[in-house]
Structure 1
């Protein structure tokens, strides 16, 4: 990656008026996915034991999906693949196909206390704004946040009856606005904020980690926020330094700017859509939603957290959060309490295949 290919700031009207971020799926690629799944199933292996060769894609199919993920590392910092033929797959088939695609992209990250490699974003009557609460298993509207990976990918199996609109904002545009209107707060953005891991860290990890909201490395800017987790660190961990007045003012200003219609673009993710977001340059949220009564119609998305071989460098003082800040490294994720040797083998194997550095090996 070089300076010519890094992401740029954008406003909501830019996204609204230029749909180059939508990538329609050639229907023949769905047939490729079916053939790859059949081959993978015939190996008799569990998903975590699959290699890219076990889920074989023709070059055209592999290039389409790889280019989509690669596009998140430049320009908009996000894209939407439209037309995945999820209607012809069972949920389990969709899971296996989604996982197989990820093998050709990079190394997936575990996402929660259970060390799940893929999660269902679906209302399971969970609670969001509580100690240890997560948003993906509720129907609640979410705070603007980023996830613990280079790219978060959502595959929509069923949209909600109403609501559940995806909200995305260019963090780079918001940083530019802060520099323009409140330059006195830029230093506070670069000071450590403490985030709670919400119980999703490994047993040998501290329950909180320090990370500035903004920084740069080799000309690449990076931003992260999650006010709910910052607030949880303040409420539940006495050893955490208290937020300064300027840090609170920064968080309050972000609460105003991130959903501002000038910056925030609303996107309806429909059945068969796959949304890909760069977590260092795009902040995301969603509105609350109403589900259908029938279980098979309820809002259901599958989520992968991916690290990519062409990812950007991260600021040096983000290392406590991500464990590795070098470009193209295996980093981030919530290790959780149930990392297995099988997952570690997968992690090492995938890192070797994609030529990625791996501090977890």
Structure 2
């Protein structure tokens, strides 16, 4: 049995690989709506009907050989006594076909359909610690970990901590059991590993942002125009370094380097009244309020639904997919609460990632949330 690493103290990440954090775009690089394509084509465009009855196209069940290889790599890492923040593909070694397979997965997530479900990781047998090592080890083959909050968590935990989801100017919704509307996170890729399911609810929906864009271009080009204007403000909910603004101004759809990508989270847009009421930023216009409503309706209409079982891993692109979660209810105490481990992964442009109109586009750990000199940590549970 591999030794426990739960009590290992946090380990600082090298400063040269520090999460770059939330940034305003380079406004001079943003293209006006008139330059956007009338429709998007290519492998990033998909329809739920292509996959709803064809799970073989997007669901992979780990083979016994793959599980054995992943488990062996996790055991070896744990035996070396390293901290979880120190895991890399160099010390979590996967060879041969499995390594090649994960490279294909990375390419698919970055430039293809942008999502998949991997089933059968034996988390109940392995326990939380080994499951976390295995999960993060897999993640090293897909991107670089970036911090997900002001605490520096590179291993995040989606769990209801009893916080009030109505206080959207303070509370991150992943720490509640409320519905998460369609959104994307502040990273190139997001991963979820199911440790414990809820009693009911907590199911997942994803949608191709490019299918949404094309649909709105046909049905409501006025909405698309509004979404393409760089006058949307996004709340940082107090997760800011000294001297930084409490918000970011950007557009919802960008067109840069001949690609359309998306940045959106309605909870971060609608929580800014504490600033707009003081005249520090503009309030949402009627056109923006309608655009947000139509965007959510369109995502719901076009979405692919899935349920994550214990041991399932979901990876989704944040550049050209949107994802959502239904509200959920946990089993009565003392049963464990719903628990998903989360990764935010960066895929910088120098390693095949999309070029983005941000100053950190070439940085390995671009995006994420970095507050002052907070070091990165990998707790085994929510805190």
In which range does the TM-score fall when normalised by the shorter chain? 0.7 to 0.9
Residue equivalent to 1:209: 248
- Which 5+ residue runs of structure 1 have no aligned equivalent? 344-361
**Equivalent of residue 167 in structure 1, options 172, 183, 205:** 205
Task: State how far apart, in whole Å, the 2-side matches of 1:5 and 1:203 are.
Answer: 42
Residue equivalent to 2:163: 126
Residue equivalent to 1:64: 101
Q: Are 1:336 and 2:371 counterparts?
A: yes
Residue equivalent to 1:9: 45
Residue equivalent to 1:350: none
- Cα offset, 1:270, TM superposition: 1.0
User: Any residues of structure 2 matched to 1:2-151 within 5 Å, and which?
Assistant: 7-19=43-55, 20-130=57-167, 131-151=169-189
Q: State the SS of the aligned residue for 1:258.
A: helix
Task: State how far apart, in whole Å, the 1-side matches of 2:271 and 2:238 are.
Answer: 11
Write the deviation string for residues 55-96 of structure 1: whole angstroms up to 9, x where unpaired.
222222222333223311233221111111212111122112
Q: Are 1:254 and 2:309 counterparts?
A: no
Residue equivalent to 2:352: 310
Q: State the SS of the aligned residue for 2:152.
A: coil
Change (3 A) 1:105 1:74: closer
Q: State the SS of the aligned residue for 1:210.
A: strand
Change (3 A) 1:154 1:5: farther
Write the deviation string for residues 282-311 of structure 1: whole angstroms up to 9, x where unpaired.
111111112123555431110000012322
Q: Tell which deviates more after alignment, 62-71 or 13-22.
A: 62-71
Q: CA RMSD in A?
A: 2.3
TM-score (norm 2): 0.80
Q: Tell which deviates more after alignment, 85-94 or 271-280.
A: 85-94
Aligned length: 330
Report if aligned partners of 1:197, 1:229 keep a CA contact under 8 Å in 2: yes
Task: State how far apart, in whole Å, the 2-side matches of 1:70 and 1:204 are.
Answer: 38
Write the deviation string for residues 299-341 of structure 1: whole angstroms up to 9, x where unpaired.
1110000012322123x2xx3xxx4245x8531101135622x
Task: State how far apart, in whole Å, the 2-side matches of 1:70 and 1:121 are.
Answer: 26
- Cα offset, 1:233, TM superposition: 2.3
Question: Which structure has the highest helix share of the two?
Answer: 1
- Cα offset, 1:178, TM superposition: 1.3
Larger RCO: Structure 1 or Structure 2 (Cα < 8 Å, ≥ 6 residues apart)?
A: 2
Task: State how far apart, in whole Å, the 2-side matches of 1:112 and 1:204 are.
Answer: 18
Q: State the SS of the aligned residue for 1:336.
A: coil
Task: State how far apart, in whole Å, the 2-side matches of 1:50 and 1:285 are.
Answer: 29
Residue equivalent to 1:152: 190
Task: State how far apart, in whole Å, the 1-side matches of 2:115 and 2:329 are.
Answer: 26
Residue equivalent to 2:225: 187
Report if aligned partners of 1:311, 1:329 keep a CA contact under 8 Å in 2: no
Q: State the SS of the aligned residue for 1:277.
A: strand
- Cα offset, 1:45, TM superposition: 1.9
Task: State how far apart, in whole Å, the 2-side matches of 1:206 and 1:307 are.
Answer: 23
TM-score (norm 1): 0.84
Q: State the SS of the aligned residue for 1:298.
A: coil
- Cα offset, 1:181, TM superposition: 1.3
User: Following superposition, which runs of at least 4 residues in structure 1 exceed 6 angstroms of deviation?
Assistant: none
Task: State how far apart, in whole Å, the 2-side matches of 1:23 and 1:182 are.
Answer: 37
